Amino acid sequence: MTSSDSKTPGRSGGGMSRNTYVVFISSAAALGGFLFGFDTAVINGTVTALRNHFETGSFGIGLAVSLALIGSAVGAFFAGQLADRIGRVKVMMLASLAFSLSAIGSGLPVTIYDFIWWRFLGGMAVGAASIIAPAYIAEVSPAHKRGRLGSLQQLAIVIGIFVALLFDYVIAEGAGGSADNTFWLDQEAWRWMFWSELPVALLYGIIALKIPESPRYLVARAQEEAAAHVLDRVGASETVEEIRATVLHERKPKLSDLRAAKRWLLPIVWVGLGLAVLQQFVGINVIFYYSSVLWRAVGFSEGDALWITVLTGATNVITTLVAIAYVDKFGRRPLLIIGSIGMLLMLALMAGIFGTAPLGPDGNPVLGGSIGVLACVAANVYVFCFGFSWGPVMWVLLGEIFNNRIRGAALSVAGAAQWLANFLVTVTFPWMLESIGLGASYGLYAFWALVSLFFVLRYVRETKGKALEQME
C-alpha cells in the first residue's frame, strides 16, 4: 500500500479530518456507554411502581433491580473473549440487538420473573458495552488523545444516566406525577420508561456498521493493509510493525495468561480488579438506582425526589466534561487522588447528617429546612468528585493499563468484577436502608472511599502519554 493510498479517506472516514474522524468513531463506540447509563438508571423512576405492580417487598425489588447486574457481569466476562474472536464491531451489533429486545420486554412483563429475564438480557448488553467501548477507543486513539477520547465512554454513560432520569421525570409528570398511572395508549408510565430506550438501542447498531474495526484486531487477523489505513485515518503514531510485534506473534489470549507463577494473578490484573471494585464500593450507584427512593425516604414528594435526581444526573455530566478537559493534562493518578478525598469528606458528612437526624413514624430520618438542603448539596458534591475522577478515569485506565497480549481477557475479568461489585452494593442497599439506616450505610461507603485513596497512592501508576505497546 503506498503512502498516498493510506492518506486517501476511506468510505468510513469520508472527507473528515483525522481529528474529527477519531472523535466520530470513538463517539460511535461510546454510544454503547450511553445505553449502559440509560439502561442502568432508567430503573430509578420505576422502583416504587414495580414494587406495587408485582406486590413484592424490599428484598424482591432489590433482586429485580440488581439481577440485571449479574447479566452485566456475564456480558462483561465473555465480551472481551468474543471481541478477540469475531471483532469489536460485531460485538457492538450483538449488544445493540440485546438492548433492543430488553427495552421491549422490560415493559411487557407478566410476572416478576419475566421482568428479571428481560433485565438480565439488557444487563448482558450493558456488560458487553462496558468492555468493548473502552477497549475499542483505546485501540483507535492516538496516545496523546487517549485519555480524553477514553473519557467519552464515561461522558456517554453519565449523559445516558441523565437522559434516563429526565425521561423518568417527564413521563411520570405526564402521567400525573406517578409511574403507576397510565400514560400513552392506556399503558402505565413505568412501561414507557423502559420503552424509551429502544430508539437509541437501534441507532447504536446502525452506527456500528459505519465504523472500522480496531487496527489491533485487524493485525491479529493478518489484515495489515486495512489496519494501516485505520491508523493513518486517526493519526496514530503506532505502526503496523509495532502492533504486529505484540499481537500477531502471540497465541490467542486466554484467561490463563492472567496468572502469575506464584501470585495467582499478574500484579497488573490485581490493580485492574481493585480499580473496578472500588469504583462501585464507594456507593455511587446507590445515588443513581435508588436516589428517588432515598429522597422520598427523608420526606420529599415523588415529583421533587425525581427532580433532585435529574439535577444529580446533570451534575454528573458537567463534571465528566471537567475530566475530559484535564485527564491528559494532569494525568490519571492526581484526578483519582483528589476524587477519593472529596468523596470521603462528602460521604462522611452525609453519614453524619443521616445518622443524627430525628426519625419519623416510618423509621426514616427526617431532614428539615437547611439540613435537607445541606444533604442535597453534599450528595451532589459527592457526585461531582466521582464524576471528574473515578467515574471516567477507571474506564480510561482499564482500557490502557493492560498490554496487548492480555487486554481482552483482563478487561473481561475486571469488567465482570466491576459488575459483581455493582450487584453487591445494589442488592444490599434496600436491606441496609431498613436495617442499619442511611447514616451507617453512608459511613460504610465513606470507609471504601478511604480505601480507594490508599489503593491509588500505593498501587496505581501513571499512564498519561504512553503508547499501548509500552504497557508491560
Cα–Cα dist 449/342, whole Å: 9
Looking at residue 13, its pLDDT comes to 44
Distant-in-sequence, close-in-space partners of 272: CB < 8 Å, separation ≥ 6: 397, 398, 401, 402, 410, 411, 413, 414
Distant-in-sequence, close-in-space partners of 79: CB < 8 Å, separation ≥ 6: 91, 127, 128, 130, 131, 132, 411, 412, 415
Looking at residue 58, its pLDDT comes to 65
The DSSP bridge partners found for residue 188 are: 182
Cα–Cα dist 204/35, whole Å: 8
Share of the chain above pLDDT 70, in %: 79
Higher-confidence position of 185 and 347: 347
Mind listing the pLDDT tens digit for each residue in 395-445?
A: 778 877 877 667 767 877 887 888 788 888 877 777 787 778 778 888 999
Q: Is the pLDDT of residue 447 over 90?
A: yes
- The CA-based dihedral angle spanning residues 383, 384, 389, 391, taken in that order and rounded to the nearest 10 degrees: 40
Cβ atoms of residues 67 and 121 within 8 Å: no
Per-chain mean pLDDT for the chain: 77
Task: Band the pLDDT of 94: cuts 50, 70, 90.
Answer: very high
Q: Is the pLDDT of residue 266 over 50?
A: yes
Mean pLDDT of 189-216: 86
pTM of structure: 0.68
Task: Band the pLDDT of 455: cuts 50, 70, 90.
Answer: very high
Cβ atoms of residues 377 and 384 within 8 Å: no
Mean pLDDT of 344-352: 92
Most confident by average pLDDT, 54-58, 81-85, 140-144:
81-85
Looking at residue 453, its pLDDT comes to 95
Q: Is the pLDDT of residue 345 over 60?
A: yes
- Residue 452, number of CB atoms within 10 A of its CB: 28
Mean pLDDT of 25-31: 83
Cβ atoms of residues 61 and 47 within 8 Å: yes
Q: Which residue is listed with cell 460485531?
A: 90
Looking at residue 166, its pLDDT comes to 82
Mean pLDDT of 83-94: 86
Cα–Cα dist 217/397, whole Å: 20
Looking at residue 9, its pLDDT comes to 38
Q: Is the pLDDT of residue 340 over 90?
A: yes
Most confident by average pLDDT, 115-129, 218-232, 349-363:
115-129
Q: Is the pLDDT of residue 105 over 80?
A: yes
Looking at residue 296, its pLDDT comes to 64
List, in order of start, the domains of the chain with CATH numbers.
3-470 (1.20.1250.20)
Q: Is the pLDDT of residue 472 over 60?
A: no
